[in-house]
Structure 1
Amino acid sequence: MFGASPTRRGLLAGGSLALPALLLSTRPVHAAGSVTAVLESEVVIVDPHATTAAITRSFGYQVFDTLFAQDSKGAIRPQMVEGHTVSADGLTWTFILREGLAFHDGAPVTAADCVASLRRWASRDSLGRMLLAALREMRAEDARRFTFLLREPFPLMLEVLGKPNAPVPFIMPERILPPGEGRITEIIGSGPFTFERDQWRTGDRMVLRRNARYVPRAEPPDFLAGGKVVRIDELVLRTMPDDPTGVNALIAGEIDYMQYLPFDFLGPLGRNRNVRLMGLKGIDMFQGNFRLNHASGPFADPAVRQVMWKLVDQKGVMDAIGIPAEFRVENCSSFWMCDTPLETAAGAEAARFDLDGAKAALARTAYKGEPVIMLQVSASISQTAAHVLAENMKKAGFTVDEQVMDWGTVLARRARPDGWSLFPVYANGVDMMSPLNHFYVANNCSDYPGRSCDARITTLLEEFVRAPDAEARKGVADRIQRAAYELVPSVMWGQFSRPAGYRARLRNLIPSSFPMFWQVEV
């Protein structure tokens, strides 16, 4: 998705399901009706610059807007921007905003808001920090124009400003941005929906309403780009105590959309004439990982981390979760996912499930039985993955403390440098298919949960950015993966997809693992 990487459609070709562009007219329509959706989890953090959590990103795309956005072909297209120019030497980029952009409180979106938002976002994002390193000055020229003056060319400018990987460079009013690392307390964006704070009920529901001030682009909506014409009055995000409750609510018509269906309900749901299933392939699949904490505890020891490669049985994990064969890749040892342009086996000889070998390798380390604190998300597929790993770790000689909690608590706990050893998680393929956006590689040597660091990877990431073509980038990606297999920032537990389900009364729902509701009609 970066530089000359193949498009989303190219990535999904070759037997996979391509995501078609949505060819809908953006003519004015009367917005009517309410859609009730159950997303992957409850929205706990509402500041999208403050976390890489996918649920916060999903919230962010409804409420905020971006300067550029990715379409279903992988191309980066203008969103809030009307146009831009680049100097012949590549050192001066000038952007001009579209007319009529306004925040939810009625204030116009200005170039100063964009500059302030980008400065805040960039300091918290791995690609943003690369941009800052190349930046000499970023300034507002007038109400609608702002300029980047660079120290050196930065060819990935548009890919970075339009990246869909969390944290996303969403634009916010300068006046709501707190100093330092504080989180925003007012949720005011310029996106297609407004956040109704007075109707937010923690543990129950969040209400978003159609933004009457939103001026969509003229183009048809296409993945995250194009004209976001809201055709409903209200979007209600419901919180369910568990997956079966959500499925029963979908069958009963109490909710309209469920982002992740449990695998053991797919058969009955597929036979229900009032429910539609959304199967996804390619980069809309997910990569499961166990993120290790390098800052403290047993995994601060590189030798102990290396043992983990012998303890993850991808087939065993996905069998335990119950993922059908058609929704998974049987075994994938590529950090950049399988069936993608950067797929590689470089360094993967270390990833061989071997309980006896793990036991012998652990005995040769300095590990003395210290507890491995494993954070698990209650009633999730990642909890199942974690429990399978925990049993294997115990057989190898680890002392494992399995602590079960909700995802919001995991987010809070993982932000600390101590008090945990690992947690299971899975992320969209869009977020993992390149060294520049893979959460546990791109955030090398940064204040990111787990705090893994290898100077070689930092240098190689810079080399990847400067690589002249796709073949050269592929070679650098192989070298990065070899270093990652030695560092062990995370250990992959599988590549799979999770079908979404929705009521047949919904129309024009874009097939994507990103939940998007601005084009939906009831």
Structure 2
Amino acid sequence: MPIAEFGRRGLLAGGGALAASGIIRPPEARAERQLNLVLESEVVILDPYVTTAAITRTFGFHVFDTLFAMDGQGRIQPQMAEGHTVSADRLTWGITLRPGLTFHDGQPVTAVDVVASLERWMPRDALGRMLLDARESLIIKDARSIELRLKRPFPLMLEVLGKPNAPVPVILPERIARTPGDQRITEIIGSGPFRFRPDLWRPGNAMVLEKFAGYVPRAEAPDFLSGGKRVQVDSLMLRVLPDQATAATALIAGEIDYQQYVPFDWIPRLERARDVRLLSLGGLHQFQGNFRLNHSFPPFDDPAVRRVLWKLVDQSTVLQAIGIPERFRAPQCPSFWMCDAPYSTDAGAEGARLAVEAAKAELARTSYRGQPVVFLQVSGSISQTAAQVLVQNMKQAGFTVDEQVMDWGTVLARRGRREGWSIFSVYSNGVDMLTPLTHFYIASTCADYPGWSCDDRIPRLTRAFADAESQEDRKRIAAEIQGIAYELVPNVMWGQFTIPAAYRTSLRGLMQSSFPIFWNVEKT
């Protein structure tokens, strides 16, 4: 699911009141080397399998661990796994755990836990279901080894088991993994570098993740989600400060150490602030903004009407209107799979150029007869600004637009219904949009997913993409899928950009990542 929205807030008079009120610095559980963090939103759902929410994924990568993990170049590396073997016919995969792995309750991680976890995760994830369909059996060989036997080769085995996209295939204790799939787990026990402290959790205020002394890091250097995860602090304090300007004020005052998303209009002030630095990212660590269209509700049930929108969006204009400085945004990007990324392509994008008069003439040749376009917008968000730029162009081209402004939670509820809305604006982590198998609106083609876009060619091609033996074949198939997507118009991209994080210069070792990562971080 796309990341939570944030607004462009007004200024706060000062940060001293925060400390005085105890919002920032409560007396309880104040560790000597504690990182005080404000992330994109509060962690509400703790079960890593039941949501695609980015904040739950962030929580999950710190508390749990995975068999394999992605490095900064998008390659999959062993993580909990010591290694793996593949038979000559590629139908039998063996995976062995590293020795000495333990859960936060002191119990060893075994093959029994791995099998139970994968059995719970596979039916709940799109890529997991592909693996489940190819699987013949999942066998426990010994305390540290499992064997996956397949009905047919599955070339993306490591990419699936090491995927960074939520729900992530983390490993749970077997007794917890046996929780029925339609229920959330209630006991949060992982084997990751930090452990969750339920006794210190104050919903609406703060959450504490404590260093897990029993964690055994890999020997390699840390690299995005892979490598050695060495914890250099005692704990993480996840603060709940919904107002981004309040958090920025607290950061400048030294009351917090890190803010995941800073308001763009605060960038100049943060750049001038003493002992504060901004973290800017590129490529797969940027974000992709999209307008999602509802194919089951007029007027966008007509593909000809949908295709008009390609002539009404100029990404540079949208990003400039939002206030994103040039150094934090990519040039016009025609690729569904992100630019400066493994599957970048301009296939099918020939007609995707801002041309309002041409769009007006094209719209007149369609079935459109003035029906209202119900445009859901998140109040105060950068997505609302993006929407307003499109609305202006749509009206000039002859569309009737009904703008309905609400909070993100209401958008989520409204978009679940097939009727009553036409389009909404949102943005997502680039890592989630990198391939046809993970892109929210392509991977869900012909599935029961809000927007209900369907072209039978795409599911066939995504299966071919998963079965492809080489990167060259995958690139070719990804380009073919994109060509069809430009005809189908499940979404229209409104820009690729960075939302910079900000941090105190007392922190050392922060990872260059759009995922907040706090292993290997020191506080001086």
TM-score norm. by structure 1 comes to 0.87
Task: Answer yes or no: is the 8 Å Cα contact 2:41–2:242 preserved in 1.
Answer: no
Please list the CA deviations of residues 224-246 of structure 1 after superposition, one character each: whole Å capped at 9, or x if unmatched.
11221222222112222322212
- What SS does the corresponding residue of 1:389 show, helix, strand or coil? helix
Q: Which amino acid aligns with 2:489?
A: V
Partner of 2:5: none
Task: Answer yes or no: is the 8 Å Cα contact 1:36–1:257 preserved in 2.
Answer: yes
Matches within 5 A, 1:82-481: 82-177=82-177, 178-296=179-297, 298-367=299-368, 371-395=372-396, 396-406=398-408, 408-418=409-419, 420-481=421-482
Q: Cα 1:114–1:301, aligned 2, differ >3 Å: closer, same or farther?
A: farther
C-alpha displacement of 1:301: 3.7
* Identity among equivalent pairs (%): 63
- What SS does the corresponding residue of 1:201 show, helix, strand or coil? coil
Task: Answer yes or no: is the 8 Å Cα contact 2:379–2:405 preserved in 1.
Answer: no
Kindly report the root-mean-square deviation, in angstroms, between the aligned alpha carbons of the 2 structures.
2.4
Which of 205-214 and 88-97 deviates more?
205-214
C-alpha displacement of 1:41: 2.4
Q: Which amino acid aligns with 1:110?
A: T
Task: Answer yes or no: is the 8 Å Cα contact 1:312–1:353 preserved in 2.
Answer: yes
- What SS does the corresponding residue of 1:501 show, helix, strand or coil? strand
Task: Answer yes or no: is the 8 Å Cα contact 2:330–2:497 preserved in 1.
Answer: yes
Task: Answer yes or no: is the 8 Å Cα contact 2:156–2:467 preserved in 1.
Answer: no
- What SS does the corresponding residue of 1:121 show, helix, strand or coil? helix
Q: Cα 1:420–1:114, aligned 2, differ >3 Å: closer, same or farther?
A: farther
C-alpha displacement of 1:50: 2.2
Q: Cα 1:204–1:375, aligned 2, differ >3 Å: closer, same or farther?
A: farther
Please list the CA deviations of residues 475-508 of structure 1 after superposition, one character each: whole Å capped at 9, or x if unmatched.
2222101111122121100011122110011111
Q: Which amino acid aligns with 1:115?
A: V
- Whole-angstrom distance in 2 between the partners of 1:421 and 1:108: 51
C-alpha displacement of 1:317: 1.1
Q: Which amino acid aligns with 1:158?
A: L
C-alpha displacement of 1:367: 4.8
Task: Answer yes or no: is the 8 Å Cα contact 1:54–1:427 preserved in 2.
Answer: no
- Whole-angstrom distance in 2 between the partners of 1:521 and 1:233: 10
C-alpha displacement of 1:253: 0.9
- Whole-angstrom distance in 2 between the partners of 1:373 and 1:179: 38
- Whole-angstrom distance in 1 between the partners of 2:298 and 2:216: 51
- What SS does the corresponding residue of 2:242 show, helix, strand or coil? coil
Q: Which runs of 5+ in 1 are unaligned?
A: 1-30
Please list the CA deviations of residues 357-398 of structure 1 after superposition, one character each: whole Å capped at 9, or x if unmatched.
444444554456555444433433222212322343344323
- What SS does the corresponding residue of 2:350 show, helix, strand or coil? helix
Q: Cα 1:300–1:259, aligned 2, differ >3 Å: closer, same or farther?
A: same
- What SS does the corresponding residue of 1:62 show, helix, strand or coil? helix
- What SS does the corresponding residue of 2:95 show, helix, strand or coil? strand
Which of 161-170 and 194-203 deviates more?
194-203
- What SS does the corresponding residue of 1:299 show, helix, strand or coil? coil
Which of 201-210 and 83-92 deviates more?
201-210
C-alpha displacement of 1:115: 2.0
Task: Answer yes or no: is the 8 Å Cα contact 1:295–1:450 preserved in 2.
Answer: yes
Partner of 2:60: 60
- Whole-angstrom distance in 2 between the partners of 1:421 and 1:313: 20
C-alpha displacement of 1:145: 1.9
Partner of 2:76: 76
Please list the CA deviations of residues 54-103 of structure 1 after superposition, one character each: whole Å capped at 9, or x if unmatched.
22211111111111011223332211112222112111111122233232
Q: Cα 1:156–1:452, aligned 2, differ >3 Å: closer, same or farther?
A: same
Q: Which amino acid aligns with 1:62?
A: H
Task: Answer yes or no: is the 8 Å Cα contact 1:373–1:403 preserved in 2.
Answer: no
Which of 465-474 and 243-252 deviates more?
465-474
Aligned length: 491
Q: Which amino acid aligns with 1:318?
A: L
Task: Answer yes or no: is the 8 Å Cα contact 1:112–1:139 preserved in 2.
Answer: no
- Whole-angstrom distance in 2 between the partners of 1:203 and 1:366: 49
- What SS does the corresponding residue of 2:502 show, helix, strand or coil? strand
- Whole-angstrom distance in 1 between the partners of 2:423 and 2:480: 25
Q: Which amino acid aligns with 1:309?
A: W
Task: Answer yes or no: is the 8 Å Cα contact 1:371–1:401 preserved in 2.
Answer: no
Q: Cα 1:154–1:234, aligned 2, differ >3 Å: closer, same or farther?
A: same
Task: Answer yes or no: is the 8 Å Cα contact 2:277–2:503 preserved in 1.
Answer: yes
Task: Answer yes or no: is the 8 Å Cα contact 1:350–1:485 preserved in 2.
Answer: no
Q: Which amino acid aligns with 1:404?
A: M
Q: Which runs of 5+ in 2 are unaligned?
A: 1-30
Q: Which amino acid aligns with 2:486?
A: Y
Task: Answer yes or no: is the 8 Å Cα contact 1:507–1:520 preserved in 2.
Answer: yes
TM-score norm. by structure 2 comes to 0.86
Q: Which amino acid aligns with 2:54?
A: A
Please list the CA deviations of residues 298-348 of structure 1 after superposition, one character each: whole Å capped at 9, or x if unmatched.
434433332332332312211111111222123111112223343222211
Task: Answer yes or no: is the 8 Å Cα contact 2:284–2:431 preserved in 1.
Answer: yes
Partner of 1:514: 515
Task: Answer yes or no: is the 8 Å Cα contact 1:304–1:362 preserved in 2.
Answer: yes
C-alpha displacement of 1:436: 2.6
C-alpha displacement of 1:511: 1.7
Task: Answer yes or no: is the 8 Å Cα contact 2:377–2:403 preserved in 1.
Answer: no
Q: Which amino acid aligns with 1:333?
A: P
- Whole-angstrom distance in 2 between the partners of 1:91 and 1:230: 38
C-alpha displacement of 1:51: 2.4
Which of 467-476 and 329-338 deviates more?
467-476
Which of 155-164 and 213-222 deviates more?
213-222
Please list the CA deviations of residues 255-284 of structure 1 after superposition, one character each: whole Å capped at 9, or x if unmatched.
111112222222222222311121212222
- What SS does the corresponding residue of 2:72 show, helix, strand or coil? coil
Which of 468-477 and 329-338 deviates more?
468-477
Task: Answer yes or no: is the 8 Å Cα contact 2:153–2:467 preserved in 1.
Answer: no
